[in-house]
Amino acid sequence: MSIEKIWNSWNDAVKFSGVFCIRGEDGVIFEKAQGFRNRSEELSNNIDTAFGIASGTKLFTGLAVCKLIDDGKLSLDAKLWGILPFDLGQIDKRVSVFHLLTHTSGIGDYVDEEAADSMERLAALYCHYPVYLWERLEYYLQMITPLSPKFEPGARFGYSNSGFIMLGLVVEAVSGKPYQEFVTNEIITPLGLRHTGFYRMDELPANTALGYIGDIESGLKRSNIFNLPVIGGSDGGLFTCAKDLDILWRAVFAGRVLSENILKDFLKAQVKRSDEKSYGLGVYRIDKNGNTAYYAVGGDFGVAFNTAYFPKQKTTASALGNTEVNPYPLLDAILSEFLA
């Protein structure tokens, strides 16, 4: 099946607002940009528009932590309590960097995505902790450290936003720089990712998409500016575009971000999630029919995102949306196509 047929067979293709792009070694294979980055001004999304990627940010956080390990400043078995200069409350003292990177720490999650009503809980949390105050990672501690552990470290995979906030704090403690600055200086700028950054929600640069959610009472679309932290953290909130994601994936696999040894650990199936799917040190992995793909996903109020890399075909696939239309069926179809 061709990529165009995959797009045309997607039930929500007409409703999707955002960018869908497939790139190979020689450039664009297929790309689609539609909808508005600014609905009131009727400014259209284009192939270079930057979108929020929510938890897709965890891919960058995993790379940042692994860079510190690469530099000999950190180790996978280092304990969280021994790194951070804070009272970590209910967090188990056995929790290590490895547990955090692989979502096996079991620490209480301030936004528990394993709960059926996770989005409702998050909305309630924003009412208690106004989003304009979420500027520094230390702010999150009051929402995390009082929570009881969900399970013992290493017991199972349990997706954790709190765990990646802690990894951001680890980056800050070890590097001596704010998490966002470290990622910018060590990954974004060196790779020439020109439209990628931790942009403030109230200070978005040109050609950056506002996210839109449906208002329950009116049914109209409104901006997500009051539904996301004012600036992204280590568990989510970065903005990027399809071209920059292509550059990032190729740089990672070319050894321009991590050394060969730590790259193997980053990509390795560290914890199984099913017969085919696993998780590395900040990246999802799927093995099927003797082929392998790596991917990252994200979703939040007015944000829908996925990106994947196929080493055998040296091809990237990314879908970046700024409404509640979920592009995950596109990812599933692309995975099936390339891993057949």
pLDDT of residue 215: 67
pLDDT of residue 122: 86
Handedness of CA 333, 336, 339, 340 (dihedral sign): negative
Q: How many domains would you assign to the chain?
A: 1
**Mean pLDDT for the chain overall:** 95
Question: What is the pLDDT averaged over residues 33-50?
Answer: 97
Closest CA to 198 of 216, 180, 186: 180
Output the CA angle 278-283-288, nearest 5 degrees: 40
Q: Hunting for tokens 């409404």 — which residue is that?
A: 323
Domain that holds residue 167: 3-338
pLDDT at 216 over 90: no
Closest CA to 113 of 150, 139, 85: 150
Neighbouring residues of 196: CB distance < 8 A, sequence distance ≥ 6: 50, 188, 238, 239, 240, 241, 244
pLDDT of residue 116: 84
- pLDDT tens string 120-144: 888 889 889 999 999 999 999 999 9
- Of 4-18, 71-85, 106-120, 149-163, the one with minimum mean pLDDT is 106-120
Please indicate, yes or no, whether the overall pTM of this predicted structure exceeds 0.85.
yes
CATH number at residue 79: 3.40.710.10
pLDDT at 219 over 80: no
pLDDT at 1 over 70: no
- Of 97-111, 119-133, 188-202, 229-243, the one with minimum mean pLDDT is 119-133
pLDDT of residue 114: 87
